[in-house]
Structure 1
Amino acid sequence: MLNISANNKVPLGEIERFSTVRYLTTRPHHKMLNRIIIGLCILAVIILFLPWTQNISGTGFVTTLTPDQRPQTIHNAIPGRIEKWYVREGDFVKKGDTILFLSEIKEDYFDPNLVENTKQQVDAKRNALQSYDSKVGALESQAVALSREKDLKLQQARNKIKQSLLKVKSDSIDLEAVKTQLRIATTQFDRSVKLNKDGLKPLTDVEEKRLKLQESQAKIITQENKLLTAKNELINAQVEINRITAEYSEKISKSNSDKFTALSSQYDTEAQVNKLENQYVNYSIRNGLYYITAPQDGYVNRALQSGIGETVKEGTALVSIMPAGYDIAVETYVNPIDLPLLKKGDEVRVWFDGWPTIVFSGWPGMSYGTFGGRIVAIENFISPNGKYRILIAPDPKQAPWPKQLSIGAGTQTIALLDTVPVWFEIWRTLNGFPPNYYQANESDTAKEKAKK
């Protein structure tokens, strides 16, 4: 039934007797098809030897070149309650313009005259500090005066000692003179007694000599008393020096003790003044934090807190602002295997979402709707998405990027590498090899530029 058996085979000559078979065998289309196939093969071989630019593709979004130009949120530094909004979403604000006003919610700062009262406390403590300073100066002057008075008293006591020494010496000499007179009187008395016994002197002369002897004996006792009195005065003068030294040392020590007490109080008051000044400055700054102001010129994107009377903690995001002036850039991500092939200054082609684009990754000259860029920063730490972040800025040597681009718009990028034949790129892709790792030396690059 399937005409598989050789017994049912129809000879070719019998088939050609049909007109349809004869028409089909004489048609020229199969010859044209063969030519087309041969031409396509030749074209494919030619294409294999065309230059192909190796590239690294990535996806990202539009951002700004510097961090201070990117969208930012404004936070409150102190807790408070929202009392009034001064802006609406979409408004343009200048640096320093008030966005909203917060009122105080902590009981330590409810006093409306807190700053003025703290200022008065600072002034009072400063006056007390000046008083302690004056007291220290007075005590220092008192100690100096006591030291001078001590020196004078000691000098006076030393002079008195010298006087006592001289008086002791004088009394000692007088005592020796009296002793000499006593010896002379004794000798004269003995001689008068002897002469009287011999009948050579009268009794009156003996009595006269006895009277002189008694007078000399009385003088020597008196002179000894004077000498002892002078020695006692000398001892008293020496004791007076010790008393003066001890007395004025006590007075000076007490004065110094009072001075050090005043200094201690002065330093304590100075610390209190510094503390109060710190509180005064803090309160003054806190009063300025009730008004949330714009850090730079920009547009209010979104109010993250709403309503009046809502309580917010410190560090709460209140409003989002987009800076008015910024330098546009592209933030893209590449695979870790491609990171060693990139360096600062490499050329990159970028196309943006919403812009008509025809891209031939290997032939950048034939791509339509792409814009030139240069790598300005390469992140050395992997991102949470498992790729490395690359920052691209516009290439000043090529067409400028569209001004209508908005921050956050999606982008795709192609980093251009070496130029190789198409067959080499197909072979590399089929084998899973990375793009060309080898970089030309500077001398070779210079020679190639010279040849061109």
Structure 2
Amino acid sequence: MLNLSKQSVSKRVNEQFELHSLNTLHTPRSAVVLKRWLMAIVVILLMVLFLPWQQNVTGKGDISAFTPKDRPQNIQNIISGRIEKWLVKEGDLVQQGDTLLVISETKDDYFDPNLPARLQDQLTAKKAGLDSYQAKIVALEQQIVALEQNQKFSLQKAKNKVKQGVLKVTSDSTDVIAEQVQFNIAQTRYDRGEDQYKNGGLVSLSEFESRKLKLQETRAKLVSTQNKLAISRQELTNAQIELNSIGAEYAEKIAKAQSDKSSALSSLAAGQYEISQLSNKITNVDIRRNQYYIKAPQEGYVVRALKAGIGETIKEGESICTLQPFAPEMAVELYVKAMDVPLITEGREVRLQFEGWPSLVFSGWPSTSVGTFGGVVKVIDRIDNAKGEYRLLVIPKIHKGEQDWPKQLRMGSGVAGWVMLDDVPVWYEIWRQLNAFPPTLKQEPEGALNHKKAK
């Protein structure tokens, strides 16, 4: 019956006609229960659509260390050599400075066991040679000083000799003039006496001969004084020549001494260079011999030996074993897509799921997730990797009530992470996912804002 009219006849019909078939027509109880369940589910779904959902950016990565010094490192040898003895085995905990293995020399330049002593002997001999060069330099300096003093004395002596020569020339010139006057007088008297003797006999023969003798004497004295003057002038010329030659002579001697001094200084410098080279070589040999013992740079575990055999040769800078530092400062290397990087800033909270730890994750409701651990974005790489992804370094979140990361974590273990963003309704998140829109960001976290204000 459709019950289109307001007048219901079903009751009267049931009273007048007791129809058993109509009484059996009623809604089954299971359908009512199903209807109620469906209505409750729909209501719950509608309520869920309006619940807050925290947007997030997913990423995967592995466990690493925050500082490079805490990451696994390959122990390398500085020099080439031959493995003689291993002092550790894989899995051992070693302290800083512990010897890992011993190698022997492979270069023939360092085979001599007495090489340091021989180099020390060479160094001692070179130092003795330097002492002799220094003594020679001191002697040459004293010689140069003595030559300069002798030069002054010789110049003064030569100048005095020139002055004496000038005075002597002056004196001899005066004598020549005097003798010339005497000769002229004697010549005049001789001429007058000759005339008087020949013309009247006013002068006797003896007087005439006496005047003639006097003339000869004065002529001889004049010639003698002239010769003496010539000799004095020659001596003055020789003195002047000697005065001029003294400067050249001593300049040559001083120049030769200075040249010898320069040669000695050059030899001294060459000897000092050789001593420096020998000292450097001795130090290098000592350091090289210390490199025969390859030691642990820091406390850690020997993870893997890359060279095994006794007697095996290794090259310079070749990796020998891998060392995992003890008690590293754990961090997670999380890789995210390039389109999500602009939404991530330092200080963002991250929820992490470590491989090997059971968990039940509701990425949009982190408070309801079980088995996840808290983290904080500390570093965002400036460049991407070969796959176009960017690396995030996530450190543990230190907060009251936050669970610490497991102590059993090992380097390289896989990690899944969710960088938490803003809260949006569930219906909006479903609509965003269906349309493949990126997450939204309304405001940056307080840590990033404070960082920008500080700048």
Shorter-chain TM range is 0.7 to 0.9
Comparing 76-85 with 191-200, which one deviates more in the overlay?
A: 191-200
CA shift, 1:290, in A, is 0.4
Normalising by structure 2, report the TM-score.
0.87
1:55–1:401 CA distance, 2 compared to 1 (3 A): same
Match of 2:68 in 1: 67
Gaps of 5+ in 1: 1-16, 447-452
In structure 2, which of residues 361, 364, 367 is the aligned counterpart of residue 365 of structure 1?
A: 367
What letter corresponds to residue 230 of structure 2 in structure 1? L
Following TM superposition, by how much is the alpha carbon of 1:206 offset from its aligned partner in structure 2, in angstroms? 3.4
* Match in the other structure for 2:93: 92
**Matched residue type, 1:32:** V
Among candidates 329, 340, 343, match of residue 342 of structure 2: 340
Tell me the residue number matched to 2:159.
158
Q: Deviations over 1:283-319 (max 9, x none)?
A: 1111011001111112222222223222222222212
Q: 1:18 to 1:318 in 2, by over 3 A?
A: farther
Match of 2:381 among 376, 379, 382: 379
| Match of residue 112 from structure 1 | 113
What letter corresponds to residue 304 of structure 1 in structure 2?
Answer: L
- Cα distance per residue 1:32-70 (max 9 Å; x no partner): 333332332222222111111110111112211111111
The equivalent position to 1:356 in structure 2, one of 358, 361, 364, is 358
Amino acid at match of 2:161: K
Query: Which residue is equivalent to 2:413?
Result: 409
Q: Which residue number in structure 2 is paired with residue 5 of structure 1? A: none
Amino acid at match of 1:334: V
CA distance, structure 1, for counterparts of residue 378 and residue 151 of structure 2? 83
Deviation string 1:244-284 (CA, Å, 9 cap, x unpaired) is 33332332222222222222222222222222222212111
Moved more, 28-37 or 301-310: 28-37
Pick from 435, 448, 452 the counterpart of residue 439 of structure 2: 435
The one-character-per-residue Cα deviations of 1:392-418 (angstroms, maximum 9, x if unpaired) are 111122332222222222211111111
Q: Which residue of 1 aligns with 2:142?
A: 141
The change in CA–CA distance for 1:69 and 1:23 in structure 2 (over 3 A counts) is farther
User: Alignment partner of 1:334: what SS?
Assistant: strand
Pick which of 354-363 and 243-252 moved more. 243-252
**Aligned twin of 1:187:** 188
Offset of residue 141 of structure 1: 2.2
Matched, 1:33 2:23: no
- Structure-2 change in CA distance of 1:94 and 1:441 (3 Å): closer
Q: Distance in 2 between matches of 1:266 and 1:22?
A: 134
Could you tell me how far 1:88 is from its partner in structure 2? 2.1
Q: Does 1:260 align with 2:272?
A: no
What is the letter of the counterpart of residue 40 of structure 2?
G
1:188 CA drift (Å): 3.4
Which residue of structure 1 aligns with residue 426 of structure 2? 422
Of residues 384-393 and 221-230 in structure 1, the stretch that sits farther from structure 2 once superposed is: 384-393
Match of 2:315 in 1: 313
RMSD: 2.4
Q: Which runs of 5+ in 2 are unaligned?
A: 1-18, 451-455
Q: Which moved more, 1:286-295 or 1:244-253?
A: 244-253
Secondary structure of residue in 1 paired with 2:113: coil
Tell me the amino acid that sits aligned with residue 172 of structure 1: S
The aligned residue for residue 245 of structure 1 is: 247
241-250 vs 88-97, greater mean Cα deviation: 241-250
Match of 2:13 in 1: none
CA contact (8 A) 2:422 2:442 kept: no
Q: CA deviation at 1:199?
A: 5.7
Identity %: 47
Equivalent position amino acid for 1:424 in 2 = Y
Supply the AA of the counterpart residue of 2:229: L
Structure 1 range deviating more: 426-435 or 400-409: 400-409
AA paired with 2:340?
A: D
* 2:122 corresponding residue in structure 1: 121
TM-score, scaled relative to structure 1: 0.88
